[in-house]
Amino acid sequence: MPHLAIYRKYRPATFEDLLGQETIVKILKEEAKQDRLSHAYIFSGPRGTGKTTSARLIAKIANCEKRASDQKFREKGEPCNDCATCRAIDEGKALDVIEIDGASNRGVDEIRNLKESIRTSPSASRFKVYIIDEAHMLTKDAWNALLKTLEEPPAYVVIILATTEIEKVPATISSRAQKFYFKLVPREKIVQKLARIAKEEDVKISPEALDLIADYAEGSFRDSESLLDQMVSFGDKTVDVEEIEKAVGKISFDKIDAFAEMLVKGDVSGALAFVAEVADGGFNLSQFLRDVIQHLRRILVLRVSPQMEEIFKKEMMAEHLAKLIAQSKNLKPAHIALLKTLINAYGEMRYSQFPRIPLEVAIVEGLEKIKS
C-alpha cells in the first residue's frame, strides 16, 4: 500500500484543527452554525496555509448528513467526519465535490465544461462544490465564462477559488464572492504541531531540529510536514539538526548565532574561516547570508527597542531569544553600517557567478570599520 504523506495524514479534519487562522475559522464556523454558506468564496494567501483544506471543510459542512438531520450537532459548526459523505470527501471519492487545477485547466473550454456540469443537479449530495486551485492562472476568456456562472449560480452550487495571487483575480469576480486571506502560520504553532506528529509517529527529534524545520517552512504547515516526512523516509526514527541541514541546505540557529557573535566582536579571521566552512559544506551562501541578516536585524531591533522581545517570543525559542538579547548589549553604531554592507552583498551574491567573493569583501570592509 502506498505511503500516505504526513501532510495528508494530519490534514485538519475540522475547523478547530485549522491552526493559525483564528479569524477565518470564527467566521466560517458561524456561517456553518447558521447554515448560511455563501455561493462563492475566494481563499488567498501563501502556499501551505490551509486554503484547499478549508475548501474541503466547507464541502463537508455543506453536505454532512449528520448536520442535515441533527439540529443540535449543526450548532457546533463542524462536519461529523463519520457519515458516508464526509468520508467520501476525505478520500477524494465524492462525485459532487469537483477539484479543478486552474494551472492545467485554464482555458475557456474547460470553464464552459464547468458551466455545463453546474447545470446538472448533485448526484448524491445536497450541494455540488467546485474547488478551483491556482485560480489566478485562468485566462481572460475563462474568467468571463466563470463570471456568468457567479452572477446566477444555482442554489445547489458552491464555488471556491484558491489562489496565491489575489491581485490577478478580476474585480468583477472578487466582488461576487466572500474573500478570506490566509496568513503565514506563526513558528510556534508549526513547532507544536510537528512535535505532536513526531510523537504520534514515534519519531525522536530535538527542539532545535523542530525549530529548523519550522524556520525553513517560513509559515507553511504543508512545507514543514513534507520536510519532516522526507526526513523520516530515510528509515531512521531519529532526526537530528545535521541531517536537516544537509537535506535543505539551511544552517541551524546555533551556527548562525556563532557566526553573528564573530561579527559582533569584529573577528575577521574567524568569520572568513566560517564562510569557507559553509561554502565547502555545499550550503547555499545566499540563504546563509539571508539568515545572518535576519539574525543581526533582530539583534539591532532589540538594542534600540527592548520591548520587541515580546514579539520575538512568538517567532523563536526562548533560549534562542536569550542569546539575541545578550548579543544586543554589545552592539555598536558601526554594526548598523555592517548590516547595510551585508544587505548590499546579498543583492550582489544572487546574480554573481562567485557568490563567496561579495560576502567575504563585505565581512572585511564591515569589520574593519568596526575595529577603527
pLDDT, one tens digit per residue, over 3-32 is 678 888 899 999 999 999 999 999 999 999
Taking CB atoms within 8 Å and a gap of at least 24, the contacts of 75-84 are: 75/33, 76/33, 77/15, 77/28, 77/29, 77/30, 77/31, 77/32, 77/33, 78/14, 78/15, 78/16, 78/29, 78/32, 79/13, 79/14, 81/13, 81/14
pLDDT for residue 232:
85
Can you say whether the dihedral through the CA atoms of 323, 326, 328, 332 is positive or negative?
negative
In the predicted model, is pLDDT for residue 193 greater than 90?
Answer: yes
Same domain as 66, residue 31: yes
Q: In this structure, which amino acid lies at residue 19?
A: L
Is there a single domain that holds both residue 311 and residue 209?
no
Domain C-terminal end among 229, 248, 267: 248
Q: What is the β-pairing status of strands 128-133 and 97-101?
A: parallel
Q: Give the pLDDT band (50/70/90) at residue 1.
A: very low
> 310-353, pLDDT tens digit by residue?
889 888 888 999 999 999 998 888 889 999 999 999 999 988 88
| pTM, 2 dp | 0.83
> Quick one: pLDDT at residue 106?
66
Q: Which of 159, 188, 129 is nearest to 41 (CA)?
A: 159
Q: How many domains does the chain have?
A: 3
Are 266 and 170 members of one domain?
Answer: no
Q: Mean pLDDT over residues 127-149, rounded?
A: 88
For residue 1, being part of any structural domain is answered with: no
Determine the pLDDT at residue 151. Answer: 87
175 and 64 co-located in one domain: yes
Mind listing the pLDDT tens digit for each residue in 245-290? 888 888 999 999 999 999 999 999 999 999 999 999 889 899 999 9
Question: Is the model more confident about 236 or about 286?
Answer: 286
Half-sphere exposure of 258 (CA within 13 A, CB side): 11
Domain boundary residue, one of 248, 281, 297: 248
Mean pLDDT of 202-226: 91
Q: Answer whether residue 357 shows pLDDT above 50.
A: yes
Say what percent of the chain tops pLDDT 70.
97
Is 272 within a domain? yes
239 pLDDT above the threshold of 50: yes
Same domain as 167, residue 197: no
Separation between Cα atoms, residue 57 and residue 18, nearest integer Å: 10
Residues counted in the chain: 372
* Residue 352: per-residue pLDDT: 83
CA 44, chain centre distance (Å) = 12
Question: C-alpha cell of 65?
Answer: 448528513
- pLDDT of residue 174 exceeding 90, the answer is yes
Choose the final residue of a domain: 181, 207, 234.
Answer: 181
Quick check: 2 pLDDT over 60? no
Looking at the fold, whether 345 and 264 belong to one and the same domain comes out as yes
Better-scored residue on pLDDT, 334 or 180: 180
Find the domain containing 337 and state its range.
253-371
